[in-house]
A and B are shown apart, each in its own frame.
Chain A
Amino acid sequence: EAGVTQFPSHSVIEKGQTVTLRCDPISGHDNLYWYRRVMGKEIKFLLHFVKESKQDESGMPNNRFLAERTGGTYSTLKVQPAELEDSGVYFCASSQGRWSYQRSGNTIYFGEGSWLTVV
């Protein structure tokens, strides 16, 4: 079974430019999450999709970040315009059902992350 895949794995852009990160969840997983880890900090929640709907976007830092999941399959996270403090690792994760119930199918699986450096 293919895992959560993310693209690009690394990206270096200049301040003010735009970057779009892509995530392909595990096939059949309705729930898709974005998290990020900035230097020296813990991994933090950004938002949660259930199929194509945004369930919770309380972690999005500001309106320079836009996430979409058209058709309920893959998702994109766009940063426009990028700032220096946006540098970090952006993780995507997916789960089949609502993870909060103790069922193996509801485990959250993470991708390898997209490393973003803004210079």
Chain B
Amino acid sequence: EDKVVQSPLSLVVHEGDTVTLNCSYEVTNFRSLLWYKQEKKAPTFLFMLTSSGIEKKSGRLSSILDKKELFSILNITATQTGDSAVYLCAVGVYGGATNKLIFGTGTLLAVQP
């Protein structure tokens, strides 16, 4: 069965800290890995990764994928209270009629002032 596991489940840090969120997966027909940030309601898109070893960056956030070891990390540097959210990792699987995302349970990040 397709599976996506995120760690840690929750994390409390102070402003200015750097955090690393982990996502490992076991799926058939891997297509891409996506990171979303969910603050109150709608998950908002952060990154889509399809190739190993290529870092994607957006401001203080960056992410990289390792397709050999089947994992991805999301780094946030110089954290701010506005980074507090649930970070969701999802793996896209595609084959035949299937075209869907397999989600992990998320990592709850709390950034304290």
Binding site for B on A (CB under 8 A): 3-4, 31, 33, 35, 41-45, 48, 55-56, 58-59, 91, 98-100, 102, 107-113
Contacts and interface: CB of A to CB of B under 8 A. Distances in A.
B102 interface: yes
B2 to A, nearest CB: 10
B93 to A, nearest CB: 9
Interface of B: 4, 31-32, 34, 36, 40-45, 48, 50, 88, 90, 92, 94, 97-106
Contact of A48 (B41, B99, B102): B99
Contacts of B98: 56, 58
B43 A110 contact: yes
Contact of A4 (B4, B31, B42, B97): B42
A102 B48 contact: yes
A100 B92 contact: yes
A100 B31 contact: yes
7 contacts: A42-B104, A48-B100, A58-B98, A98-B99, A108-B34, A110-B36, A112-B40
Contact of B92 (A42, A59, A91, A99): A99
A43 B6 CA distance: 13
A100 to B, nearest CB: 4
Contact of A45 (B31, B44, B94, B101): B101
Contact of B105 (A35, A42, A59, A108): A42
A68 B93 CA distance: 23
Contacts of A4: 42
Given A100-B31, A112-B41, A56 B99 contact: yes
